[in-house]
């Protein structure tokens, strides 16, 4: 009784800005959010967003290749996603003679649209809480993993395209089913030049003000009868009964916005002792190690154009996490986020006796696990970066295939892929610095083997070259077999898995504590009549919040939109991040904006809103209060990246490309009239 009263008082005191006010909601939970969504300004019915009967916006949202989000924007299956999501596909169709990345690409007919083997989109048509079904199997003695599989397997499967998946949420206190259909024929339709789609590149990544036209276009194809099918020349563009409406009205500061997509991971309920471990040790160590790699690569990329080409994409992906984590560490400090989380934790823990006990245990466990986790992190940052270790792994696999008399096409292709973008001397220097950085920082005993001996120039300098196309591999095989680095990967992996083996029992115990702790948090939330959202886990979610900027620091304010003038202001001829093709600049300078303007006549480029998003939300549609498409999510502001631990609408913003900029590029720059024609554009 006393606890309930206390909880009620806290809720009243915190109001709707409590640390639990935001979240990523499952489609089937949206109906329960109606009052809050209306209060933020939503004008549509919640069944327009999702209904178990069908007909919701979810039917236009796709999991793009399993790593990004996309949306269907025409009656002919046209899919909009980010440029950085379509990047690999665009790159795979690019060559020196026909460089789609550099020049952009606009298919002039269906026949010119380019197939992408392996690429698929999933439409999530149903989500449902199946906690009771899973728990009843567990009660009968099944392991949770088996129980989840069985519940998924019991769902109707009208044809092979259906994929049912049951995942745990709230640390295994509940379970959710998602039912999707997979379409495996997805073709490239259009992309702006990289200069536009990646404008600002790493310098502007995670940054506002932003001027990136981060979009690309694909199309879903089906069998002639409309069913999902593998690529075939007889496939036809997907026929969409109810295509999204695309609005030219845009949004102003304070307006309702909604994001639909597939965020990958958040840690909103992490024990504070672990959050502190992340912020004080794990993330700074990752940042320091990546810093070494990035500065090594950067100095070589600046002087050698070949290295620039080889390492640009690797650089972007290593820098992406590096910059985000720096933002998280600083952002949490700036808003005293740990204090806020600690206050919440104390409140919730006091709610039940188990709560206090489990929180105290977490503190001790996190201390005890610290060294081993830290050491594991060293391997996690080193193994994927060190290309000599990748060489060792691929070469061992290849030599094994040789010995077994297996088909050698795939292992050989994998080696060619590695060699294409590998500079062994640069890789050696990066590895040397990584290992040195670790040794300097760590008080922890690590690798038994002397890893530094593998960074001897004699080792990297003697890696055998690959034979020319069609030539014999004999010399390579012989040299590889006796190369000192051949065993490197196996060594590293063995050490790493031994370490993980030691850790595993302790981590399992930690996770079972997490389940108890989450149960307390759920009970607390229920006692305050508060619905709380599960952490992201790559399932379809809805986030909503108001459009608008914020004040990142005293005396300064970010506006809601950026405009084309800002694109031109950042232009730096010859710079690899801020150059623009002349034809593009000329078009922008002509200010022929057509119907795609803000009310002041400017061409909008990007805009901000306080939606809770994360990695995986790239390519997510942004909708207005009526469910019309107004933008394309692609990033968050650096100051608010701590939203993965602690979301606050004061500071956390997602960044979207304004749909009017997308349309201006497609229409006025590319002149791709046939694409504009098939869209349902409303005023
Ligand atoms: N920060 C965005 C995301 O996390 C964009 C990344 C791609 N762009 C880049 N410059 N690396 O995916
Ligand atoms: N760029 C991210 C992605 O690829 C989205 C940004 C974020 O982490 O919020 O999913």
675 domain residue, yes or no: yes
Q: Which residue has the higher pLDDT, 17 or 230?
A: 230
Q: Give the Cβ contact number of residue 230 at 10 Å.
A: 12
Among 445, 472, 498, where does a domain finish?
498
Q: pTM of the prediction?
A: 0.94
- Please tell me whether residues 549 and 622 are part of one structural domain: yes
Q: Given the CA of residue 263, which atom of ligand 2 is nearest to it?
A: 10
Q: Residue 647 in contact with residue 613, Cβ under 8 Å?
A: no
Local structure of residue 205 (DSSP, 8 states): T
Ligand 2 atom closest to the Cα of residue 614 is 9
Cβ neighbours around 256 below 10 Å, total: 22
Atom of ligand 1 nearest to the CA of 200: 10
Any domain includes 79: yes
Max CA separation in the chain (angstroms): 81
Ligand 1 centroid from CA 320, angstroms = 6
Nearest CA to ligand 1 atom 5: 635
Based on the fold, state whether residues 246 and 379 are members of the same structural domain.
no
Nearest ligand by distance to the CA of 634: 2
User: How far apart are the CA of 427 and the centre of ligand 2, in A?
Assistant: 28
Ligand lying closest to the C-alpha of residue 206:
1
| pLDDT of the residue at 440 | 78
On whether the CB atoms of residues 79 and 73 are closer than 8 A, the answer is yes
Contact 134, 147 (CB under 8 A): yes
- Shared domain for 554 and 612, answered yes or no, is yes
CATH of the domain at 215: 2.40.10.120
Question: Following DSSP, what letter does each residue of 534-587 receive, concatenated?
Answer: PPP-SS-EEEEEEB----SBTTB---SEEEHHHHHHH--TT-TTT---HHHHHH
pLDDT digits (tens, 9 = 90+) for 195-244: 999 999 999 999 999 999 999 999 999 999 999 999 999 999 999 999 99
Closest C-alpha residue for ligand 1 atom 3: 635
What does the alpha-carbon distance between residue 66 and residue 60 come to, in Å, rounded to a whole number?
16
Count the domains in the chain: 2
Tell me how far apart the alpha carbons of residues 68 and 82 are, in angstroms, rounded to a whole number: 8
Confidence of residue 21 (pLDDT cuts 50, 70, 90): low
DSSP-based three-state secondary structure for 72: strand
Distance 614 CA to ligand 2 centre (A): 5
Please count the CA atoms within 13 angstroms of the CA of 275 that sit on its side-chain side. Answer: 25
Same domain, 9 and 82: yes
Residue from 635, 641, 643, 655 whose mutation best tests the ligand 1 pocket (most atoms within 8 A of CB): 635
192: number of CA atoms within 13 Å, CB side? 28
Cβ atoms 369, 510 nearer than 8 A: yes
Contacts of residue 307, defined as CB under 8 A and 6 or more positions apart, other chains included, come to: 297, 300, 301, 423, 426
For ligand 1, atom 2, the nearest C-alpha belongs to 635
In tens, the pLDDT along 377-428 reads 989 999 999 999 999 999 999 999 999 999 999 999 999 999 999 999 999 9
Range scoring the smallest mean pLDDT among 20-24, 50-54, 652-656: 20-24
Atom of ligand 2 nearest to the CA of 654: 9
> 68 CA to middle of ligand 2, Å?
9
Domain-terminating residue out of 476, 498, 520: 498
Within a domain: 132 = no
Percent of the chain's residues with pLDDT above 70 = 96
CA distance 514 to 204: 37
- Contact predicate 578/571, CB 8 Å: yes
- Give the integer Cα–Cα distance in Å for 106 and 110: 11
CB 75 within 8 A of CB 239: yes
Distance CA 276, CA 599 (A): 46
Q: Which residues are catalytic?
A: 84, 214, 618
Tell me if 197 CB under 6 Å of ligand 1: no
Distance, in Å, from the CA atom of 523 to the CA atom of 525, rounded to the nearest integer, reads 5
211 and 279 together in one domain: no
Say whether both 293 and 188 belong to one domain.
no
pLDDT of 2 reads 39
Same domain, 487 and 557: no
Q: Which atom of ligand 2 is nearest to 206's Cα?
A: 6
Q: Residues near 299 by Cβ (< 8 Å), separated by ≥ 6?
A: none
Q: Which of 405-419, 490-504, 555-569 has the lowest mean pLDDT?
A: 490-504
- Ligand nearest to the Cα of 613, by number: 2
Whole-number pLDDT of residue 444: 65
CA of 209 to the centre of ligand 1 (A): 15
Clarify whether residues 376 and 320 are in a common domain.
Answer: yes
Is residue 15 scored above 50 in pLDDT?
A: no
Please tell me the distance between residue 302's alpha carbon and the centre of ligand 2 in angstroms: 27
pLDDT at residue number 576: 84
* 269-273, 308-312, 531-535, 668-672: least confident range: 308-312
Q: How far apart are CA 481 and CA 479, in angstroms?
A: 6
How confident is residue 4, by pLDDT bands cut at 50, 70 and 90?
A: very low
Ligand nearest to the CA of 619: 2
Q: What are residue 324's phi and psi, to 5 degrees? A: -60, -45
Evaluate if residue 10 carries a pLDDT over 70.
no
Q: Looking at the structure, do residues 243 and 287 belong to the same domain, yes or no?
A: no
Mean pLDDT of 542-547: 97
Residue 446 in this model has a pLDDT that exceeds 80: no
Instruction: Please give the backbone phi and psi of residue 300, each rounded to the nearest 5 degrees, phi first.
Output: -75, -35
- Residue 216 φ/ψ, nearest 5 degrees: -150, 165
The verdict on residue 570 lying in a domain is yes
* Whether the CB of 201 sits within 6 Å of ligand 1: yes
Read off the pLDDT band of 5 (50, 70, 90).
very low
User: In this structure, is residue 176 part of a structural domain?
Assistant: no
> Cα(508)–Cα(530) distance, rounded to whole angstroms?
29
Query: Buried b vs exposed e over 197-227: b needs ≥16 C-beta within 10 Å?
Result: bbbbbbebbbbbbbbbbbbbbbbbbbeeeee
Calpha distance 362→602 (Å, rounded): 53
What is the mean predicted confidence (pLDDT) over 452-462? 94
In a domain, 572, yes or no: yes
Residue owning the nearest CA to atom 6 of ligand 2: 635
Please, which residues bridge with residue 623 across strands?
258, 629
The C-alpha atoms of residue 146 and residue 131 are separated, in whole angstroms, by 14
Query: Pick from 18, 10, 14, 22: which is nearest to 543 by CA?
Result: 22
Among 13-17, 126-130, 517-521, the minimum mean pLDDT is found in: 13-17
Cα–Cα dist 249/660, whole Å: 9
Q: 450-476 burial, b if ≥16 CB within 10 A, otherwise e?
A: ebeebbeeebbeebbeeeeeeeeeeeb
Among protein residues, the one whose CA lies closest to atom 2 of ligand 2: 615
Q: For ligand 1, say whether the CB of 84 is within 6 Å of any of its atoms.
A: yes
Domain boundary pick from 478, 498, 518 = 498
Cβ(615) – ligand 1 distance below 6 Å: yes
- 226 and 283 housed in the same domain: no
Same domain, 432 and 297: yes
Please give the Cα distance from 250 to 29 (Å, whole number).
27
Cα separation, 522 vs 516, in Å, equals 10
Question: Quick check: 658 and 607 in contact, CB under 8 A?
Answer: yes
Ligand nearest to the CA of 644: 2
**Average pLDDT of the residues of the chain:** 94
Q: Is the Cβ–Cβ distance between 184 and 229 less than 8 Å?
A: yes
Q: For residue 605, report the phi and psi dihedrals to the nearest 5 degrees.
A: -115, -65
202 touches 577 (CB < 8 A):
yes
The helix/strand/coil state of 247 is: strand
* For the chain, percent of residues with pLDDT exceeding 90: 89
From the CA of 266, how far away is ligand 2's center (Å)? 12
User: Rounded CA gap, 104 and 195, in Å?
Assistant: 9
What pLDDT digit, counting tens, does each position of 266-312 carry? Answer: 999 999 999 999 999 999 999 999 999 999 999 999 899 889 888 98
Q: Who wins on pLDDT, 146 or 449?
A: 146
Structural domain for 420, as ranges: 272-498
Provide the CA 210 distance to its chain's centre, in angstroms: 19
What is the C-alpha to C-alpha distance for residues 310 and 109, in angstroms, rounded to an integer? 33
In a domain, 179, yes or no: no
Query: What is the best residue among 207, 212, 618 to mutate for testing ligand 1's pocket, by most ligand atoms within 8 Å of CB?
Result: 618
Give the pairing type, strands 681-682 and 246-247: parallel
Asked if residue 291 belongs to a domain, the reply is yes
Residues at CB less than 6 angstroms from ligand 2: 613-618, 634-636
How many Cβ atoms are within 10 Å of 494's Cβ, its own excluded?
13
Burial of 65 (0-12, 13-18, 19+ CB in 10 A): buried
Contacts of 460 by beta carbon, 8 Å cutoff, 6+ apart: 388, 424, 425, 427, 428, 485
Indicate which atom in ligand 1 lies nearest the CA of residue 635.
2
Helical (H) or strand (E) element with 301: helix 283-303
350-375 mean pLDDT: 93
The CA 192 to ligand 2 mean position distance, Å, reads: 20
Residue 464 banded pLDDT, cuts 50, 70, 90: very high
586 shares its domain with 623 = yes
Taking the C-alpha atoms of residue 569 and residue 563, their distance in angstroms, rounded to an integer, is: 10
């Amino acid at each position: 009784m006393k606890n309930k009263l206390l909880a009620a008082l806290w809720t009243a005191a915190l109001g709707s800005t409590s640390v639990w006010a935001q979240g990523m909601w499952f489609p089937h939970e949206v109906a329960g959010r109606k009052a809050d969504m209306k209060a933020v300004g939503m004008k549509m019915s919640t069944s327009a967003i999702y209904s178990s009967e069908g007909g919701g916006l979810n039917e236009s949202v796709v999991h793009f290749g399993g790593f990004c989000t996309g949306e269907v924007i025409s009656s002919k299956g046209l899919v909009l996603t980010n440029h950085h999501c379509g990047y690999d596909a665009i790159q795979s169709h690019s060559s020196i003679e026909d460089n789609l990345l550099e020049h952009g690409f606009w298919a002039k007919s269906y026949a010119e649209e380019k197939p992408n083997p392996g690429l698929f989109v999933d439409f999530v048509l149903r989500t449902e809480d199946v906690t009771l079904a899973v728990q009843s199997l567990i009660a009968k003695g099944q392991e949770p993993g088996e129980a989840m599989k069985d519940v998924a397997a019991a769902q109707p499967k009208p044809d092979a395209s259906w994929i049912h998946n049951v995942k745990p949420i709230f640390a295994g206190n509940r379970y959710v089913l998602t039912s999707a259909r997979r379409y495996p024929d997805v073709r490239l339709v259009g992309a702006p030049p990289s200069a536009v789609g990646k404008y600002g590149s790493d310098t502007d990544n995670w940054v506002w003000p932003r001027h990136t036209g981060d979009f690309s276009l694909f199309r879903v194809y089906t069998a002639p009868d409309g069913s999902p099918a593998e690529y075939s020349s007889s496939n036809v563009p997907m026929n969409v009964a109810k295509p999204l409406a695309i609005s030219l009205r845009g949004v102003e500061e304070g307006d309702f916005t909604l994001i639909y997509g597939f965020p990958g991971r958040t840690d909103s309920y992490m024990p504070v002792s672990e959050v502190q471990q992340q912020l004080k040790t794990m993330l700074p160590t990752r940042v320091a190690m990546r810093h070494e790699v990035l500065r090594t690569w950067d100095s070589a990329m600046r002087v050698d154009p070949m290295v620039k080409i080889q390492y640009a994409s690797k650089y972007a992906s290593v820098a992406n996490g590096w910059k985000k984590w720096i933002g998280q560490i600083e952002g949490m400090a700036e808003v005293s986020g740990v204090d806020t989380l600690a206050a919440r934790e104390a409140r919730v823990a006091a709610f039940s006796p188990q709560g206090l006990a489990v929180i105290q245990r977490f503190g001790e466990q996190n201390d005890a696990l610290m060294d081993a986790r830290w050491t594991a992190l060293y391997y996690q940052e080193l193994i994927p970066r060190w290309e000599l270790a990748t060489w060792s792994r691929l070469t061992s696999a290849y030599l094994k295939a040789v010995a077994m008399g297996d088909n050698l096409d795939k292992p050989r292709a994998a080696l060619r892929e590695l060699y294409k973008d590998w500079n062994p001397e640069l890789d050696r220097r990066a590895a040397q610095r990584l290992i040195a950085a670790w040794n300097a920082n760590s008080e922890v005993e690590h690798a038994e083997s002397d890893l530094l001996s593998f960074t001897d120039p004699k080792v990297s300098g003697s890696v055998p070259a690959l034979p020319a196309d069609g030539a014999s591999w004999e010399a390579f095989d012989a040299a590889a077999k006796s190369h000192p680095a051949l065993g490197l990967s196996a060594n590293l992996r063995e050490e790493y898995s031994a370490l993980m083996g030691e850790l595993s029992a302790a981590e399992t115990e930690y996770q079972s504590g997490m389940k108890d702790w989450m149960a307390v948090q759920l009970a607390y939330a229920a006692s305050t009549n508060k619905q709380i959202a599960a952490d992201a886990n790559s399932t379809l979610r809805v986030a909503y919040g108001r459009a608008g900027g914020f004040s990142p620091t005293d005396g300064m304010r970010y506006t809601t939109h950026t405009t084309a003038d800002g694109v031109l202001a950042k232009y730096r001829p010859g710079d690899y991040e801020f150059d623009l093709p002349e034809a593009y600049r000329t078009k922008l300078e002509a200010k022929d904006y057509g119907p795609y303007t803000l009310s002041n006549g400017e061409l909008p480029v990007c805009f901000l809103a306080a939606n809770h998003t994360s990695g995986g939300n790239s390519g997510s549609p942004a909708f207005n209060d009526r469910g019309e498409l107004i933008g394309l999510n692609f990033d968050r502001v650096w100051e608010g990246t701590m939203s993965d631990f602690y979301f606050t609408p004061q500071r956390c913003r997602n960044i979207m490309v304004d749909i009017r900029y997308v349309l201006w590029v497609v229409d006025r720059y590319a002149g791709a009239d046939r694409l504009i024609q098939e869209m349902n554009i409303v005023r």
